[in-house]
């Protein structure tokens, strides 16, 4: 029994330390259980496993281009009319009820939609088909993105307008530097 615990400890110490940590530490299950209790640890690990399985399903079955280091809510709607048109970069987080479209039935188009690296797509936002959201962007909750978003931007509203520019974000689109206000158009 003690040798198994030593092996778990050894494996956890060799894990990558630069990966983002979500709710609980992944490197030591025993300290997590002691600190948070059994149920929160199990719930977090089960949810993480489900999110990983869903990403694999979307990539392998539907052919979407989703980086392994993304955080996509279980309630996100990714367009399955043209699934190969979905491209999501590293370190991006997409919140619940967000919609990423790749087709427009009325205009009869099926196009690629890109979400860059280290972005945050807010809850219930909509990214219209054929658009590119640049790296290090934050799309506010409820925003309808109707045109391309330049890198390092904060976009809010319906239709989406650039509120701030030159922002810096980290994993999951966490804002590290607020940048400056965008010029009035």
User: pLDDT below 50 — which residues of the chain?
Assistant: 1-2, 4-18, 21-25
Residue 30: predicted pLDDT:
83
What is the rounded CA–CA span in Å between residue 77 and residue 95?
A: 10
The answer to whether position 127 is within a domain reads yes
Closest CA to 84 of 119, 121, 113, 126: 113
The answer to whether position 164 is within a domain reads yes
The answer to whether position 139 is within a domain reads yes
Closest CA to 127 of 103, 89, 99, 159: 99
pLDDT tens column, 75-118: 999 999 999 999 999 999 999 999 999 999 999 999 999 999 99
The answer to whether position 184 is within a domain reads no
Residue ranges making up the domain that contains 170: 64-179
Q: Does residue 95 share a domain with residue 30?
A: no
Q: Tell me, yes or no, if the pTM score tops 0.85.
A: no
CATH number at residue 140: 2.160.10.10
The answer to whether position 185 is within a domain reads no
Q: Does residue 6 share a domain with residue 72?
A: no
The answer to whether position 129 is within a domain reads yes
What is the rounded CA–CA span in Å between residue 114 and residue 132?
A: 5
Residue 8: predicted pLDDT:
39
The answer to whether position 171 is within a domain reads yes
Residue 16: predicted pLDDT:
40
The answer to whether position 18 is within a domain reads no
């Amino acid at each position: 029994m003690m040798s198994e615990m030593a092996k778990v400890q050894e494996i956890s110490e060799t894990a990558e330390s630069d990966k983002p940590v979500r709710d609980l530490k992944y490197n030591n299950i025993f300290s997590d259980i002691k600190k948070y209790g059994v149920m929160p640890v199990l719930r977090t690990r089960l949810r993480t496993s489900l999110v990983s399985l869903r990403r694999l399903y979307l990539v392998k079955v539907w052919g979407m281009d989703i980086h392994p280091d993304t955080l996509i809510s279980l309630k996100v709607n990714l367009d399955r009319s043209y699934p190969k048109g979905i491209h999501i970069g590293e370190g991006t987080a997409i919140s619940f009820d967000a919609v990423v479209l790749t087709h427009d039935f009325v205009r009869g188009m099926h196009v690629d939609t890109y979400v860059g690296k280290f972005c945050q797509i807010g809850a219930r936002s909509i990214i219209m088909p054929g658009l590119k959201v640049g790296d290090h962007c934050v799309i506010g909750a409820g925003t309808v993105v109707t045109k391309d978003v330049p890198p390092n931007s904060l976009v809010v509203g319906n239709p989406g307008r650039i509120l701030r520019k030159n922002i810096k974000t980290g994993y999951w689109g966490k804002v590290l530097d607020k940048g400056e206000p965008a010029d009035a158009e």
